[in-house]
Structure 1
Amino acid sequence: MASFDTGFPADSLEFCPSPLASDIVACGTYKLDNDTFSAENERTNQQHRRGQCLIFRVQSNETSDKLSIEKMQECDLAAVLDMKWCHLGETSQPLLAVADSMANITLHQLNTSEKRLSQIERIQCATSDVLCLSLDWSNRLRPQSSPGCLIVSLSNGSLCLLRPTQTSHLALTETWHAHDYEPWIAAWNYWDINIIYSGGDDLRLLAWDIRQGFAKPVHINKRFDAGVTSIQSHPHIENIFAVGSYDHKIRIFDARKPSVPLAQADAGGGVWRLKWHPSSTRRNDVLVASMHDGFKIVSFDLDISIDQLPTGAKFTRRFDEHKSLAYGADWSYAPSGSRGTIIGSCSFYDHTLHLWRG
């Protein structure tokens, strides 16, 4: 295990998927500077939020199981709420998209020799009193030399779609009202990138088809007991996607029958992030950040047909070294050794990043 004090509260963590930089992990932080908090100030965004994108190099010793972490760079930004690396071709320089508290999406290119980011573009998605809450790239299953599309959720209830153009990496092309309260998450169906999923504090999971416009969703699921916080399409099994909620539950859905989950498990503590394992050999494993109950790995039996129900979920590992809200978590894309995959996790008020294996 290895640890690092991130300085500001940490809420987002993403390993680089590029084979040129599989030893790189990015961590986003969120600092509220105002000493006096009020609901009205929060609503009107009168507080000053700032953050950083921290770049670390991770090294491992398979023989001794020792992990080490070295900070390579810190980039000062508005407060960071989410980040995602774009899955590009193996020879392309890695590209990181960052969602911040002033409605910006910033794109940063990683120099793989120097292990440092350079900001190459900034896209304003709304007025500066709106927060970009989450983002997701469309091309997870189709790595290419240029970026895919980006879906972004905004604190005013809207979603916005950013597409590549001939003159820039990305441009804002559509914005539409999606949720009555904060849409904490928006994500693509990686197998059919005409479909976007979103979830929010209105207790709804929505599906949108970009071919049909954005006047109304193509599917609505209201069967949640609290806000929907996390969605990720399965990178190895078509039609399957995982959904997390403040109601503590992880739900596994089939896109062909999205009203009722195929399986579910109680993760405890309110689920903030879910990540499928990046390797097909561990396609049943989900990494979970449970806000008030630490980090854990849960395994679902998904090697079945749609007409069969999974036999249930098994929690195979938990990590309880964090002393505060469990927010950011990700699997490393580096080859897993006999001791398991490297995992990064970060927590908020104790501003801590941990590396461990699972």
Structure 2
Amino acid sequence: MTSISSLTTLTTALPPSCISFWPLDKSYFVVGTYLLESNEDAATTDSPTTAPQSRRGSLDLFYLSADNTITLIQTLSTNYAIFDLAFRPTDPSSLGTATSTGLLTFFTLSASSPHPVLSLTLEIQVTDALLTSLAFPPASSPEAEAGLVLLTDSAGGVSVLSLAPRVEVEACKHDCEAWCAAFLELDKGILSGGDDAVLRYSSVEYGQVWANRRAHGAGVTAILPLEEGVVLSGSYDEQLRVLDVSPMGRGRVLGELGLGGGVWRLKLMRVEEDAWVVLAAVMHGGARVVRVQREGWAIEVLGRFEEHQSMCYGADWAESQGGIRIVSTSFYDRLVCFWRMEM
């Protein structure tokens, strides 16, 4: 296992909550930010207040040069906070965001000179709750052709939204905040996790099919499909798990490893002959690069990055000639770190 040091760091104006490299040119990445405004009246008086807390954020576009310099290119300020973001596989210039006001928003990252430009293209009011995540189906799937997006919210809802025609269907409901969801190839199913520590398998057609309440010791925060019937899950209990989510498996744990922090986000880096390499944002533990072996479902930590001084909620990667470039972010210290992983 390798302990890795940063090559470049910077601080953002607002706390960073999520990140994604631009699929069309991985010299650029977008960071979503999330600020919960303090209520000054509540802090200076003894009387309770019923005023709602306000949140705001931004989308920050950065350029990562060949000499490892990070430059802020553009900031789009928003009157809502950004909880999650993802580029659409069928249209990599389109960026979707899950927001604190229940808006699903789409931005276009357009080629321009000398740098691309972000612009707002669509806003859809999905719920009054906070949208906590969004996920798109693989580009080659029928769900992608149908223009579907999978959403979770702070009221526990897991819903599938069709963009054209605009139709929303609730697939299932968690008892607390729903944190993550993913489309599965198996039977066109949907797998979701929430603060109730429950893994739920559902479909648009049949609703919830099964629920596993035993696999996780705390809230389920991340889901990454590996192959048909097998996924990785992350949890506040700091465990990375390999799960059998086939009709017979129903969330059975095949393998697990503690990563030293709540496993908030998972991104697939590489598919090998009998293994998968995955990047994990592990909250107070920093970031990890892990390999999951099919044989025995063993999990090995290949690299660890631990310079973050607060919760690491975001990390993404890009291939380069000098190894894999990785950018990770942490929340309260507003830190963006660039580092490399040799593989």
Shift of 1:5: 1.2
For 1:251 and 1:45, the matched residues in 2 are separated by 40
| Structure number with higher strand proportion | 2
Instruction: Extract unaligned runs of 5+ from structure 2.
Output: 1-6, 44-48
Shift of 1:300: 1.4
Shift of 1:140: 4.3
1:265 aligns with 2:257: yes
- Cα 1:105–1:85 change in 2 (3 A) is same
- Cα 1:59–1:145 change in 2 (3 A) is farther
1:126 alignment counterpart: 127
- Cα 1:87–1:272 change in 2 (3 A) is same
Shift of 1:112: 2.2
Provide, for residues 20-78 of structure 1, a one-character-per-residue CA deviation record: whole Å limited to 9, x for no partner: x222211111111124579xxxx988111000011112223xxxxx4221212111121
Report the 3-state secondary structure (helix = DSSP H, G, I; strand = E; otherwise coil) of the residue aligned with 2:237.
Answer: coil
- Cα 1:240–1:16 change in 2 (3 A) is farther
Provide, for residues 241-280 of structure 1, a one-character-per-residue CA deviation record: whole Å limited to 9, x for no partner: 1100001100112332233122111011211111111555
For 2:277 and 2:328, the matched residues in 1 are separated by 16
The count of corresponding residues between Structure 1 and Structure 2 is 323
1:155 aligns with 2:159: no
What is the Cα-based RMSD across aligned positions, in Å? 2.5
For 1:321 and 1:69, the matched residues in 2 are separated by 17
For 2:266 and 2:182, the matched residues in 1 are separated by 12
Match of 2:239 among 236, 244, 249: 249
What TM-score do the two structures reach when normalised by structure 2?
0.87
Moved more, 254-263 or 96-105: 254-263
Match of 2:205 among 187, 211, 222: 211
Moved more, 274-283 or 288-297: 274-283
In the alignment, residue 317 of structure 1 is paired with which amino acid? G
1:139 alignment counterpart: 138
2:323 alignment counterpart: 340
Shift of 1:99: 0.6
1:63 alignment counterpart: none
- Cα 1:142–1:3 change in 2 (3 A) is farther
What TM-score do the two structures reach when normalised by structure 1?
0.83
2:99 alignment counterpart: 100
- Cα 1:294–1:108 change in 2 (3 A) is same
2:60 alignment counterpart: 54
Report the 3-state secondary structure (helix = DSSP H, G, I; strand = E; otherwise coil) of the residue aligned with 2:205.
Answer: helix
Shift of 1:6: 1.1
1:297 alignment counterpart: 289
Shift of 1:192: 4.4
1:330 alignment counterpart: 316
In the alignment, residue 106 of structure 1 is paired with which amino acid? T
- Cα 1:75–1:200 change in 2 (3 A) is same
**Pairing of 1:3-22 with structure 2 (within 5 A):** 3-18=9-24, 21-22=25-26
Report the 3-state secondary structure (helix = DSSP H, G, I; strand = E; otherwise coil) of the residue aligned with 1:107.
Answer: strand
For 2:196 and 2:144, the matched residues in 1 are separated by 38
In the alignment, residue 264 of structure 1 is paired with which amino acid? E
1:197 alignment counterpart: 191
Match of 2:301 among 315, 332, 348: 315
For 1:264 and 1:230, the matched residues in 2 are separated by 14
Report the 3-state secondary structure (helix = DSSP H, G, I; strand = E; otherwise coil) of the residue aligned with 1:284.
Answer: strand
**Pairing of 1:79-94 with structure 2 (within 5 A):** 79-88=81-90, 94=93
Moved more, 71-80 or 44-53: 44-53
1:75 alignment counterpart: 76
For 1:107 and 1:188, the matched residues in 2 are separated by 20
Instruction: Extract unaligned runs of 5+ from structure 1.
Output: 61-65
For the 8 Å contact 1:160–1:176, the answer to whether it is kept is yes
1:231 alignment counterpart: 223
- Cα 1:102–1:282 change in 2 (3 A) is farther
For the 8 Å contact 1:134–1:185, the answer to whether it is kept is yes
For the 8 Å contact 1:139–1:149, the answer to whether it is kept is no
- Cα 1:238–1:44 change in 2 (3 A) is farther
For the 8 Å contact 1:86–1:139, the answer to whether it is kept is no
For 1:48 and 1:146, the matched residues in 2 are separated by 36
Moved more, 5-14 or 191-200: 191-200
